[in-house]
Structure 1
């Protein structure tokens, strides 16, 4: 089969488009013919050596959608989607024509999603789902989501399904306009010290949950937090350190929740996909738009573009 593969890290030049053997399946495993595979920034960082536990040589790629061609009879021919921490790190991933994984590591693809749409959602939506679950967002929760990227948009959409009161915050005017066009109340981020005033103008007493998807607003978020509130974070500054106003945090009874999608294997992620996947078929979640579909053979160029900051969602098609 054709695949992207790297045998060393530190430079995207190590990534090659190669011919490798198609994986052989064992008991309770499936072989999925990839119809589309999402390209995430973490895939690029993996080749660059940001994940020391990656074993080599390795086919990268976490997110996928495809058709089961080998495995338990009940799954043969089924359209599935999946993601998980093994893929691309210590098991070969989805940037190939086929991927092998446990039979319970795939979920049935929602019929309203195309293969490309489903492949674009794994990491953003499982990350957002985990953030909402672990920060206890439910009906009526006053939720502030900071950041207008894929994870932030997923969190807002999922939170609306839960009946939460949602407020978005983004820095770039085009992000603010896009969120407002979706009917989401949005504030434009400016000076960090202004955030509490902006939030309290919408949520009297502060936000019960603040989800910072950027890694830069944790100190400013604390004074915008309600009593006993939670701040969920998925990123940190490059050096991993931030000045946390601990006195203000504990006086509010607040807590910080670290969200790391790489803590969840394919089985756990399949369970998440099963839980919220039905919302796409029920018309409760927006279908992805503006995807860029690119042949897998051109994947080396697409990796380079993502590394340079390309923001639209790329889906690789074998």
Structure 2
């Protein structure tokens, strides 16, 4: 089978598209024919050595959607999707034509999503789902969402599906204008944004979710008493100065969200619940996906490393 592979870490020059043996099924596992595989920033950062637990040689890729071709009879032929912390790090991942993983690590793919749409949704929705769950967002919860990338968009849609009251902060005024035109209440981020939050929510927001890693100190000022701040990123040096006095006087809670903590089995449980929301129509079909054949994988990794922000998905045209 064709697979993207790296045999050392530290440079994208280690990536090659090569022929490797198709994985054999073993007890308790399935083999999935990968129709589509999502590409996330963690994938190229993995090759660059940002995750010290990665073992090589390795096929990267966390997110996938495809068809089970070997394993328990009840699963063979099923359309599935999945993700998980081990894929691409300590066992071979999804940027290949076939993938082996635990049988409990796959969830039934929502019938309303194509393979590409499902593969694009793994890490973004799993990350957003954890943030929404752990901050207790429900009907009526007042939420400030900072950033509208893949995770931010997923978090917004999940929060709205729960009937939360959400406002969005973005960096560019033209982006804020575009979101407001679409009926999404948005403002431009600056040091004064807590004042605008308090204009909307008099006591402050119950939840602030910073998906950018740059607004934690300011975000605390936008919180109401007893509020929660969730973060998924940090400045490049990993440190931030926090106004601790304001933080503890509010009785606030800081929540770190990291989807890489969850293995394929835990991810499958969450994806099953997320899939129900897609099938019910509570979540819209993902848009803005850029599909590329697996043959373009090395080029795509380089595009991401150079700053591309597209949501890329590798697709496989397999002939069985």
State TM-score, norm by structure 1: 0.98
Structure 2 counterparts to residues 108-147 of structure 1, below 5 A: 108-147=108-147
> Of 240, 243, 254, which aligns to 1:242?
240
Q: Which moved more, 1:55-64 or 1:133-142?
A: 133-142
- Residue 252 of structure 2 is matched in structure 1 by 254
Following superposition of structure 1 onto structure 2, how do residues 21-170 of structure 1 map, counting pairs within 5 Å?
21-170=21-170
Q: 1:13 & 1:261 partners in 2: Cα distance?
A: 27
Whether 1:294 and 2:283 are equivalent positions in the alignment is no
Q: Which runs of 5+ in 1 are unaligned?
A: none
RMSD of equivalent CA atoms: 0.9
CA contact (8 A) 1:160 1:166 kept: yes
Partner Cα separation in structure 1 for residue 115 and residue 187 of structure 2: 34
Task: Tell me if 1:271 matches 2:273.
Answer: no
Name the CA distance, whole Å, in 1 between partners of 2:66 and 2:158: 24
1:309 Cα offset (Å): 1.1
Partner of 1:230: 228
CA distance in 2, matches of 1:113, 1:24: 28
Alpha-carbon distance, 1:136 to partner: 1.1
User: Residue 55 of structure 1: SS of its match in structure 2?
Assistant: coil
Secondary structure at the aligned position of 2:207 is classed as strand
The 1-side partners of 2:301 and 2:178 are apart by: 26
SS in 2 for 1:75: coil
Contact persistence 1:148–1:175 (CA under 8 A): no
| Residue in structure 1 matched with residue 10 of structure 2 by the alignment | 10
What does the per-residue CA deviation read over 1:10-42, in whole Å, with 9 as the maximum and x for residues that have no partner?
110100001111111111100000000001111
State the aligned residue count: 316
Partner of 1:197: 195
Answer yes or no: is the 8 Å Cα contact 1:10–1:48 preserved in 2: yes
Identify unmatched segments of 5+ residues in structure 2. Answer: none
- In the alignment, the residues of structure 1 paired with residue 197 and residue 314 of structure 2 have an alpha-carbon distance, to the nearest angstrom, of 39
